[in-house]
Amino acid sequence: MSPIVTAFEVHDIRFPTSDQLDGSDAMHPDPDYSAAYVVLRTGDGTEGHGFAFTIGRGNDVTAAAIEALRPYVTGRPAPRTAADLAALYRNLTHDSQLRWLGPEKGVAHMAAGAVINAAWDLAATTAGLPVWEFLARMTPEEIVSLVDFRHLTDALTPDEALALLRAAEPGRAERTARLRAEGYPAYTTSPGWLGYDDARLVRLAEQAVADGFGQIKLKVGADLDDDVRRLALARAAVGPSVRIALDANQRWDVPEALHALAALAPYDPHWIEEPTSPDDVLGHAAIRAGQPVRVATGEHGANRVLFKQLLQAGAVDYVQIDAARVAGVNENVAILLLAAKYGVPVCPHAGGVGLCELVQHLAMFDYVAVSGSLDERVIEYVDHLHEHFTDPVVVRDGRYAAPTAPGFSARMRPESIAAHRYPDGPVWQRRKETGRA
Amino acid sequence: MSPIVTAFEVHDIRFPTSDQLDGSDAMHPDPDYSAAYVVLRTGDGTEGHGFAFTIGRGNDVTAAAIEALRPYVTGRPAPRTAADLAALYRNLTHDSQLRWLGPEKGVAHMAAGAVINAAWDLAATTAGLPVWEFLARMTPEEIVSLVDFRHLTDALTPDEALALLRAAEPGRAERTARLRAEGYPAYTTSPGWLGYDDARLVRLAEQAVADGFGQIKLKVGADLDDDVRRLALARAAVGPSVRIALDANQRWDVPEALHALAALAPYDPHWIEEPTSPDDVLGHAAIRAGQPVRVATGEHGANRVLFKQLLQAGAVDYVQIDAARVAGVNENVAILLLAAKYGVPVCPHAGGVGLCELVQHLAMFDYVAVSGSLDERVIEYVDHLHEHFTDPVVVRDGRYAAPTAPGFSARMRPESIAAHRYPDGPVWQRRKETGRA
């Protein structure tokens, strides 16, 4: 008998990252990385932690949306199995009144993701396994049962998903061993924030190569002359064999993207990420078709229906899942299966606060049990705020080490939660007193 | 000098409509029509009212999202001109931190729409004009200035929009006179809710024809045999010349939609509305291409980028704007211009609570100053909850009468607000006492 969830705590946690321009990009010049954070507790002392990531203002709204989900969790048995987690996912995303708030998008959907990921943390912890392994030990039938195929069957049926998973089953043990021994390839965005000056960019790019990364990423999109200059400097700093991805953070219209990428292409960028609106499937397809740089998107992809269309339209070379925007593990499993069906590599978005910790599990599960491949696959890595987690990511020689601790790796330290609570935590109280908040 | 906005009141208002199954459809069997309602007040006593429509649970979350927008409005001059309203729209939708919550979708975007519509109510009231006329008296340049063309220019440039509006300018006076004399065509959804039995459906369909409606609408999607039987009964009741639209409320996958529509087509349905996920541009295009019934969608269209793609992909025969889901009048002006560019008629979604009151203004503005046409155009009408508004819609002989009172027609009566506040208003307190809430 599963213990009952007796507590559902919601916290508005914010880090004043805008002070250093960490995370600055063409659309988001001053982010304060934040988490609308939820903790589930059971009668037997097990916990599950989850969160939606935001960049400051509005984190309180997301926390309110999480609060609205309390009745679906408290006083009920803690989820433990694939069936439990599938039922929770359906209840949270298909409530006949709440779904009007999306459907399946925006604040309400991110809130569902936070609670679902907390339930996965709880279930994997109960099983004594890290989430990637908890997933990778499920049968193909259990994995398929996690997915809501509504609105997907024109692209992927349950039978097709089952066939994909069965085909990958024989290699699971070998890939698990390789993953434990070698880790999963990473790339770093730390050099490329738009608010950093040229000297800092070059220094950090050189450092990234010295640290073993085979790929870095630069933010672009505010000013094309600046973008060309910065890319040229970075290319000179890292040499011809290190990949340089670009990220426009939605800044361009389709014609602007085609123009800018023509100017940037001579410096051999690896991909262009979010060249335009994240909702614009046809725009991404036009950009991919109209210039030579590969196209990546997904961190703001609202739900599996958007990813389905990006794949159907041939709009992307790389699918960038985010662990905390869609409805948690369950919906990301659907997206991994869609990407595998279409043969497109998944290169997760991370960074922010805690996103690296979460998404590594999904990429590793993809490798072991879905795509079965590391080719053309890298997980984003940003060296920010890991110290606030009890089981932070370990990145060595440009690779993520496979987590070994049970759970989802994204539990924030109690002292970090207490210090950064908004607006009452000491970090924010101090800023208020000094006139900075 | 414009007066300062001194008050920003937010109310969670809910109507227990699920008692009667009014509004029941295949995805939303038990809606409690609700409004996350905002009132702006200025120092000189002028008011502006706006709201996001929801169907019950989550209305509090939407109210919290409206609350987060308070700093953009209070203590600032009340918007009066096109330029003021354009600035407010940009500030609310492009805040560099808040946009992470969408971008431009879901709860946060609906909240922006509520505040923007309240500002339009305030500005039009100050001008002494109903919103449709306030808009229709603007110059083409002012109307273009209302629109955010970001992510639209591959489909519509500001110059193209200006040319469209200038081409429609000569006929404005004549169309205004015709609108005042004859009104705007309506259709009624009142007969077709899924929760109504066959006898009630037939009786209400006959009544709709007697009331002068040339089009009715039925909900479908829960069970195909029921859908075919109900459509056949309705067809027999209204005869061959009255149009019967169908609405699946997102229930089908693409293959299911093709199958169902093949079975329904013999009864000559006028359109199929929301046959699948509202996000699925490619799915709607496939459904439109794969069977004979015309396709309509848009009430859950998250933003102008979705509408742009529906038009680019040739996915729709009718564009169904909603007054309270996108970012208010400004974004709907963008959608009207896109539809005009592609030559697709706009047939607004209404119903709920207050949606008829709001959206009639946008359709009438479209007729006078944008598309210049009533061909194939109808505004949805549902006979629910109008008694709660101070300037309710007037529908006679199947046509909406043009509003004459200044403002947006969507101010709820103070006694209705007080009675239906959730959870503390007497309607909900009484239900709590009787164990029904």
Q: Please, which pLDDT band fits residue B408 given cuts at 50, 70 and 90?
A: very high
Whole-angstrom distance, CA of residue B151 vs CA of residue A284:
11
Task: Mark yes or no for CB contact A28/B280 under 8 Å.
Answer: no
Best probe of the A interface among B53, B54, B59, B61, by most A CBs < 10 A, is B61
pLDDT at A18: 85
Q: If 0-12 CB within 10 Å is exposed, 13-18 middle and 19+ buried, where does residue A211 land? A: middle
Domain that holds residue B255: 169-414
In a domain, B61, yes or no: no
pLDDT at A437: 52
As a whole-number percent, the residues of chain B with pLDDT over 70 amount to 99
Q: Summarize the confidence of residues B105-126 as an average pLDDT.
A: 98
Q: If 0-12 CB within 10 Å is exposed, 13-18 middle and 19+ buried, where does residue B343 land? A: exposed
pLDDT per position as a tens digit, A384-409:
999 999 999 999 999 999 999 999 99
SS3 content of chain A, % helix, strand, coil (to 5): 45, 15, 40
pLDDT per position as a tens digit, B51-107:
999 999 999 999 999 999 999 999 999 999 999 999 999 999 999 999 999 999 999
Spatial contact of B36 and B66, defined as CB atoms under 8 Å apart: yes
Task: Mark yes or no for CB contact B254/A106 under 8 Å.
Answer: no
**Could you confirm whether B341 is annotated as catalytic?**
no
Q: List residues bridging with B49 in a β-sheet.
A: B39
Which has more confidence, A369 or A189? A369
pLDDT at A164: 98
Residue linked to tokens 């097709």? A160
In a domain, A131, yes or no: no
pLDDT per position as a tens digit, A206-243:
999 999 999 999 999 999 999 999 999 999 999 999 99
**Could you confirm whether B349 is annotated as catalytic?**
yes
pLDDT at B436: 67
Q: How many CB atoms lie within 10 A of CB B128?
A: 11
Query: Which residue in A11, A109, A217, A219 is the catalytic one?
Result: A219
Q: Summarize the confidence of residues B13-39 as an average pLDDT.
A: 87
Report which of A199, A180, A79 is spatially closest to residue A130, judged by C-alpha positions. A180
Grouping H, G, I as helix, E, B as strand and the rest as coil, residue A108 is helix
> Which residues, other chains included, contact B70 with Cβ-Cβ below 8 Å and sequence gap of 6+?
B8
As a whole-number percent, the residues of chain A with pLDDT over 90 amount to 92
In a domain, A244, yes or no: yes
In a domain, A327, yes or no: yes
CB pairs under 8 A between A and B: 200
Report which of B116, B66, B56 is spatially closest to residue A100, judged by C-alpha positions. B56
Instruction: List the single residue in A58, A97, A306 with the smallest CB-CB distance to B56.
Output: A97
Whole-angstrom distance, CA of residue A110 vs CA of residue A42:
23
pLDDT per position as a tens digit, A343-354:
999 999 999 999
pLDDT per position as a tens digit, A404-429:
999 999 999 999 999 999 999 999 99
In a domain, A310, yes or no: yes
Whole-angstrom distance, CA of residue A341 vs CA of residue A366:
12
Whole-angstrom distance, CA of residue B255 vs CA of residue B95:
40
How far apart, in Å, are the Cα atoms of B124 and each of B37, B79, B81, B129, B323?
18, 10, 9, 5, 16
Average pLDDT, chain B: 96
pLDDT at A196: 87
Scanning every residue of chain B, which has its alpha carbon at the shortest distance from the alpha carbon of A58? B98
Instruction: List the single residue in B56, B105, B107 with the smallest CB-CB distance to A65.
Output: B107
Task: Mark yes or no for CB contact A108/B153 under 8 Å.
Answer: no
> Which residues, other chains included, contact B50 with Cβ-Cβ below 8 Å and sequence gap of 6+?
B37, B38, B40, B113, B114, B115, B116, B117, B118, B119, B120, B121, B328, B408, B410
In a domain, A228, yes or no: yes
Average pLDDT, chain A: 96
Instruction: Give the up-direction half-sphere exposure of residue A123: CA atoms within 13 A in the CB hemisphere.
Output: 24
Q: Summarize the confidence of residues A109-124 as an average pLDDT.
A: 98
pLDDT tops 60 at residue B437: no
pLDDT at B26: 77
pLDDT at A19: 81
pLDDT tops 70 at residue A436: no
Whole-angstrom distance, CA of residue B41 vs CA of residue B70:
12
Q: Summarize the confidence of residues A91-105 as an average pLDDT.
A: 95
Q: Summarize the confidence of residues B34-56 as an average pLDDT.
A: 97
Instruction: List the single residue in B60, B96, B303 with the smallest CB-CB distance to A279.
Output: B303
Task: Mark yes or no for CB contact B96/A61 under 8 Å.
Answer: no
Grouping H, G, I as helix, E, B as strand and the rest as coil, residue A112 is helix
Residues in B closer than 8 angstroms to A250, CB to CB, are 103, 151
pLDDT at A179: 98
According to the 3-state scheme, what is the secondary structure of chain B? Answer: CCCEEEEEEEEEEECCHHHHCCCCCCCCCCCCCEEEEEEEEECCCCEEEEEEEECCCCHHHHHHHHHCCHHHCCCCECCCCHHHHHHHHHHHHCCCCHHHHCCCCHHHHHHHHHHHHHHHHHHHHHHCCEHHHHHHCCCHHHHHHCCCCCCCCCCCCHHHHHHHHHHHHHHHHHHHHHHHHHCEEEEEEEEECCCCCHHHHHHHHHHHHHCCCCEEEEECCCCHHHHHHHHHHHHHHHCCCCEEEEECCCCCCHHHHHHHHHHHHHHCCCEEECCCCCCCHHHHHHHHHHCCCEEEECCCCCCHHHHHHHHHCCCCCEECCCCCCCCHHHHHHHHHHHHHHHCCCECCCCCCCCHHHHHHHHHHHHHHHHCCCCCCCCEEECCCCHHHECCCCCEECCEECCCCCCECCCCECHHHHHHHECCCCHHHHHHHHCCCC
pLDDT at B195: 82
Task: Mark yes or no for CB contact B281/A276 under 8 Å.
Answer: no
pLDDT at A33: 96
Q: Please, which pLDDT band fits residue A245 given cuts at 50, 70 and 90?
A: very high
In a domain, B225, yes or no: yes
Is the bond leading into A392 cis (omega within 30 degrees of zero)?
Answer: no
Residues in A closer than 8 angstroms to B61, CB to CB, are 61, 64-65, 68, 101, 107-108, 111
Report which of B376, B354, B374, B355 is spatially closest to residue B364, judged by C-alpha positions. B374
Whole-angstrom distance, CA of residue B100 vs CA of residue A54:
6
Query: Which residue in B11, B349, B384, B388 is the catalytic one?
Result: B349
Task: Mark yes or no for CB contact A99/B280 under 8 Å.
Answer: no
Q: How many CB atoms lie within 10 A of CB A266?
A: 12
Residues in A closer than 8 angstroms to B97, CB to CB, are 28, 30-32, 54-58
Total count of domains within chain B: 1
Q: Can you say how many angstroms the Cα of residue A152 is from the centroid of all Cα atoms in its chain?
A: 21
Whole-angstrom distance, CA of residue B281 vs CA of residue A154:
13
In a domain, B6, yes or no: no
Is the bond leading into B278 cis (omega within 30 degrees of zero)?
Answer: no
Instruction: List the single residue in A62, A150, A152 with the smallest CB-CB distance to B101.
Output: A62
Query: Which tokens hold the place of B41?
Result: 């007040």
Q: CATH number of the domain that B384 lies in?
A: 3.20.20.120
Q: Return contacts of A371-376, CB within 8 angstroms, 24+ apart.
A: A371/A168, A371/A336, A371/A339, A371/A340, A371/A345, A371/A346, A372/A168, A372/A171, A372/A175, A373/A345, A374/A184, A374/A185, A375/A345, A376/A318, A376/A345, A376/A347
